[in-house]
Structure 1
């Protein structure tokens, strides 16, 4: 199922991301940079079932490597230290991050050939849309 996500994806739109960053506790200066950044998302998978999601931009590159359903420690782009688990649910790649008694999720799905990432914190939802590079 993860195979359909594999590839290099270029961001074409980002909605409500500032409110999402505010909701997870990102400071003003970092939010300013985050709002201007349009990262590429590079998803790959090896023969052992390890998945790698790399977010690459001129500002910062972050990378997580994981196996589905296995919790791991993540340091996010905004420097939060989270306990993260990624699962496949109804065709969506769902990344749940928990830290300091809080939890957020990023639901990625392929819709009309685009990768749509919904960043959810409580009732705040940001939607970031990517197209596949050829």
Structure 2
């Protein structure tokens, strides 16, 4: 988990609009989301507790978690979900399910170049993003 701790700035994304559409995000919010350059801050709070803060300029959200425990959160796009975080090998996996049973899986890995690679999947649609450590 240590490799993920820090502040990460957005570099680029691919297939993000179709991913947001598959989530059911309205067109105006999808357009706005594609204009933002989010910053992600991952922190070790101690006692096995971590936080992920996503600052998308127009909205900032923080989720605090312990591995394997369900937590309620409101996403950047205002959806209320229950999430579970796991660490599988060197991959930080964030699985979220909304009230309608729609499940999203976000996988984060760190490349040998120190880039955080993010893979987001919902309804068979996958988007990717890259972040560099600040």
Q: Secondary structure at the match of 2:46?
A: coil
Question: What pairs up with 1:70-109 in 2 under 5 angstroms?
Answer: 70-99=69-98, 100-109=100-109
Secondary structure of the corresponding residue to residue 33 of structure 2: helix
Q: Describe how 1:1-134 pairs up with structure 2 within 5 A.
A: 2-99=1-98, 100-112=100-112, 113-133=114-134
Provide Cα deviations, 1:1-53, integer angstroms capped at 9, x if missing partner.
Answer: x1110000011001111110000110111101101111011000122111110
How far did 1:105 drift? 0.6
Q: 1:56: Cα distance to partner? A: 1.1
* TM-score, normalised by the number of residues in structure 1: 0.95
CA RMSD, aligned part only?
Answer: 0.9
Distance, in Å, in 1 between the alignment partners of 2:84 and 2:9 is: 24
**Cα displacement (A) at 1:57:** 3.0
TM-score, normalised by the number of residues in structure 2: 0.95
- Aligned pair count reads 132
Which sections of structure 2, spanning at least 5 residues, go unmatched? Answer: none
Secondary structure of the structure 1 residue equivalent to 2:78 = coil
| d(CA) in 1 for partners of 2:82, 2:57 | 26
**Structure 1 segments of 4 or more deviating over 4 A?**
none
2:58 partner SS: coil
CA distance in 2, matches of 1:71, 1:54: 17
